[in-house]
């Protein structure tokens, strides 16, 4: 560690905290330098540029979400595992809105090949394999589940459900039930005919 204990990991952690408190788009080298109490030039010995900081926050968020999914799905299968998987996403999005926003952006090649991304893919595949999907259908089912979860969380984050007295949690549970039914009745891969 150098002056004031600043390291690469410290800078990325501070950026993730900044994203949660001020919004993901608020991350800049100058804002980050103010947060950690140094001049912007001092950060460049720890991070290459703003893009590197954003990628670092993305990787932190992937790792934290993967840890949460591992905890929420451990020892569970089928609807229970799907519920734990979805709840891990929702809990993370509510507790860490800036980090969650990082997960919504395209991933850099280094992020895609990271251990955290690999773990997240493995956990997602494990949840979906309980539905006995054709191997060729796993990508489609993964995209479907991700779109449903992310769509619900985006609407919740924007306050789109605030106009109704109906419980948001009840709607969430019903959405997971609908996902479960959809996955249990997922169509087989279409066969090409000649």
Q: How does pLDDT run across 10-68, given as a tens digit for each residue?
A: 999 999 999 999 999 999 999 999 999 999 998 988 999 999 999 999 999 999 999 99
Give first-to-last CA distance, the chain, whole Å: 65
Element (H, E) at 6: none
39: left (phi over 0), alpha (psi -120 to 50) or beta: beta
CA distances from 50 to 22, 59, 70, 115 (A): 16, 14, 30, 22
Integer Cα distance of 171 and 61 in angstroms: 26
- Is residue 69 within 8 Å of residue 81, measured between CB atoms? no
Closest Cα partner for 98 from 153, 26, 151, 10? Answer: 26
Whether the predicted model's global pTM rises above the 0.85 cut: yes
What does the chain come to in residues? 194
Integer Cα distance of 168 and 158 in angstroms: 13
**Residue 191's pLDDT band (boundaries 50, 70, 90)?**
very low
Rounded to an integer, what is the distance from CA 7 to the centroid of its chain? 25
Integer Cα distance of 165 and 78 in angstroms: 30
pLDDT of residue 190: 56
User: What are 174-190's pLDDT values in tens digits?
Assistant: 999 999 999 999 988 65
């Amino acid at each position: 560690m150098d002056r004031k204990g600043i390291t690469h990991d410290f800078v990325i952690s501070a950026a993730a905290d900044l994203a949660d408190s001020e919004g993901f788009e608020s991350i800049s080298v100058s804002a980050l330098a103010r947060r950690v109490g140094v001049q912007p030039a001092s950060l460049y010995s720890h991070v290459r540029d703003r893009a590197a900081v954003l990628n670092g926050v993305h990787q932190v968020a992937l790792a934290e979400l993967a840890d949460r999914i591992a905890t929420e799905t451990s020892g569970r299968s089928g609807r229970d595992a799907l519920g734990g998987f979805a709840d891990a996403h929702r809990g993370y999005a509510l507790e860490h809105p800036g980090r969650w926003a990082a997960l919504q952006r395209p991933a850099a090649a280094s992020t895609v090949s990271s251990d955290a991304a690999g773990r997240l893919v493995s956990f997602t595949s494990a949840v979906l394999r309980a539905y006995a999907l054709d191997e060729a259908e796993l990508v489609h089912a993964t995209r479907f589940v991700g779109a449903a979860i992310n769509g619900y969380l985006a609407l919740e984050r924007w306050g789109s459900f605030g106009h109704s007295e109906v419980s948001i949690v009840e709607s969430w549970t019903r959405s997971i039930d609908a996902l479960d039914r959809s996955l249990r009745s997922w169509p087989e891969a279409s066969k090409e005919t000649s």
